Amino acid sequence: MYAGSLYYDVSLTLVPEAVRLLREFDHPNKAELLQAGSQLYSFVANASERLRAITLPPELQQFREVMRYGFLSLKRVFAEGDWRAHVLFTELVAELKPYRHLLEWLLRAPSLPSKPSVVEVNTVAPLFSAKLSAGAGASVTLVQKRELAEVSIVGEVVEEYFRRYDVQGQVVELEDLSRPAALKGTADVIFAGSPDAWKVGWDTLLSLALTVLKPKGYLAYLLPGNFREGLKTLLRFWDISPFPEPLQAVERLRKSGFGNVIVNTQECFYAIFAQRR
């Protein structure tokens, strides 16, 4: 069985667990999610049957446990106002084997300029820009939606990343990420790749790149393959809408004025590297 398919099967089998936990706290999309979960009964049964026939490799077991922890982090945010678990969940996602492989692939991109100005989008753990700053002397602007930036623990964690990696950085709070007028044409590189960045959605992420990138600037996005069922419903618990399939994303980028588009797919994630014309 194709290993990538296993990630979607594992995701399907996690949906009933997420639904059970969802009943214990208030979620803004609770009714919709409960209904979506109930409609996947046959899909979940088939996925469970396929998984019973194999021994899950360690990376799949890791994925399952990280997503289970993610459910707990959601409960702590909505029921208790405690964001520390969400920060840890974001960092754990970055440790998933396919995600980690793609992040390193983007960081090794030979076209990246020296000492670039980098914009990273809406994350509580700016790992990409921090590592790029440490390796290439980048200056960093972390763009956050105001509702995220106003969480005190988020500010503390970002400051710690900047201190640990000796980042020359700033945080810019925006009410609407689709209107970053103050950052127009300021970035050599834009990166989006965290669960909070995925919540922004494909259309806004593309619009943001077109606004903030300089001519010949680079887009580096690490995205979930939630165009396929399993991960599609699972990520709805984080209010993450489906992203386009890789080939569709490539076509959209080319039509929007990007060239030299390269895609790397790993299991249920994919990364896109492209240069603005």
Dig out the tokens for 166 from the structure.
Answer: 């000796």
d(CA 6, CA 64): 11
Domains annotated on the chain, with CATH = 3-93 (no CATH), 100-276 (3.40.50.150)
**Strand intervals (E) in 146-243:** 168-174, 187-192, 213-224
Dig out the tokens for 258 from the structure.
Answer: 């990007």
Per-residue pLDDT of the chain (277 residues; tens, 9 = 90+): 445 689 999 999 999 999 999 999 988 889 989 898 888 989 999 999 999 999 999 999 999 999 999 999 999 999 999 999 999 999 999 999 999 999 999 999 878 888 899 999 999 999 999 999 887 788 999 999 999 999 999 999 999 999 999 998 999 998 888 778 889 999 999 999 999 999 999 999 999 999 999 999 999 999 999 999 999 999 999 999 999 999 999 999 999 999 999 999 999 999 999 999 9
Backbone angles phi, psi at 90, to 5 degrees: -60, -40
- The dihedral formed by the CA atoms of 19, 33, 265 and 165, expressed in degrees to the nearest 10: -80
Tokens 């950085």 belong to residue: 169
Q: What single-letter DSSP state applies at residue 79?
A: I
Instruction: Return the bridge partners of 221, or none.
Output: 192, 272
d(CA 137, CA 150): 28
**Strand intervals (E) in the chain:** 117-121, 139-145, 168-174, 187-192, 213-224, 258-266, 269-276
Asked if residue 123 lies in contact with residue 142, where contact means CB atoms within 8 angstroms, the answer is yes
pLDDT of residue 3: 52
pLDDT of residue 2: 44
pLDDT of residue 146: 92
Type of residue at 4: G
Asked if residue 20 lies in contact with residue 75, where contact means CB atoms within 8 angstroms, the answer is no
Residue 163 CB partners (closer than 8 Å, separation 6+): none
d(CA 178, CA 223): 18
pTM greater than 0.85 (yes/no): yes
